[in-house]
Amino acid sequence: PRPILLTRHGESRDNVRGRIGGDPALSEKGELYAKKLANFLEKRLQAERTASIWTSTLQRTVLTAGPVIGIPKIQWRALDEINAGVCEGMTYEEINKNMPEEYASRKSDKLSYRYPRGESYLDVIQRLEPVMIELERQRAPLVVISHQAVLRALYGYFADKPLEEIPYIDVPLHTIIEIQMGVSGVQEKRYKLMD
Ligand code: F6P
């Protein structure tokens, strides 16, 4: 069985300020994670057949893959973070204060709530379909560096979680979720590289 390694990008400058979306660069801590991840992957994938790394097109995932050498990298637009539409760049407090109805309706149905001029979790799950098909076809180990909502959707799919649970799955920063698909189902390991 070949491993699929899922991780979020290293901490971004907007993660530090609590702002959602956008296309920020990494914080210093995020840059440190990128280095630790490269070390981890070098050791973990040493004995494996040619692996590849998939990132989104946003610079925080591309920069997180940066220090890795010798593994081909592919960018997928479908791996970009949920588009928060008019709320991009805001904090949750700002959304709650300035658009309380939007905040409340997302809270009451996070799965199907669609940001004005943006996306819902259901939209994200749908746009990930070609990625999932390609993921299942691959025979070599794969590293996916993406974002919180997208990884909830991918992980939820592999771990066979009910749709309603997907928006709440815990996918912390600086942690690698390793999935192995074998005959006896899906096995999972988590490696927390730093806080
Ligand atoms: O805060 C980081 C982030 O990736 C945002 O860009 C995104 O909108 C959010 O997480 C998704 O998480 P949630 O669906 O819980 O708001």
Q: Is 81 a catalytic residue?
A: yes
Q: Is 8 a catalytic residue?
A: yes
Give the amino acid at 165: E
Q: Both tokens of residue 82?
A: 């949920």
Residues with CB under 6 A from ligand 1: 20-21, 81-82, 84, 147-149, 167
Give the ligand 1 atom nearest the CA of 149.
11
21 C-alpha to ligand 1 centroid (Å)? 7
49 C-alpha to ligand 1 centroid (Å)? 33
Q: Is 147 a catalytic residue?
A: yes
pLDDT one digit per residue (tens) for the chain, 195 residues: 789 999 999 999 999 999 999 999 999 999 999 999 999 999 999 877 789 999 999 999 999 999 999 999 999 999 999 999 999 999 999 999 999 999 999 999 999 999 999 999 999 999 999 999 999 898 899 999 999 999 999 999 999 999 999 999 999 999 999 999 877 788 999 999 999
Q: What is the pLDDT of residue 49?
A: 72
In whole angstroms, what is the distance from residue 80 CA to residue 97 CA? 27
Partners of 6 in the β-ladder: 144, 177
Q: What is the pLDDT of residue 166?
A: 98
Q: Both tokens of residue 146?
A: 């993406």
CA distances, 120 to each of 36, 85, 105, 135, 142 (Å): 32, 10, 12, 22, 26
Shortest-distance Cα residue to atom 5 of ligand 1: 20
Best of 11, 81, 111, 119 for a ligand 1 pocket test (most atoms within 8 Å of beta carbon)? 81
Q: What is the pLDDT of residue 17?
A: 96
Q: What is the pLDDT of residue 181?
A: 81
Q: What is the pLDDT of residue 46?
A: 84
139 C-alpha to ligand 1 centroid (Å)? 31
Best of 27, 80, 145, 147 for a ligand 1 pocket test (most atoms within 8 Å of beta carbon)? 147
149 C-alpha to ligand 1 centroid (Å)? 6
Q: Helix/strand/coil (H, E, C) string of 8-70?
A: ECCCEHHHHHCCCCCCCCECHHHHHHHHHHHHHHHHHCCCCCCCEEEECCCHHHHHHHCCCCC
Q: What is the pLDDT of residue 185?
A: 82
Q: What is the pLDDT of residue 182?
A: 76
In whole angstroms, what is the distance from residue 141 CA to residue 146 CA? 16
Partners of 54 in the β-ladder: 74, 144
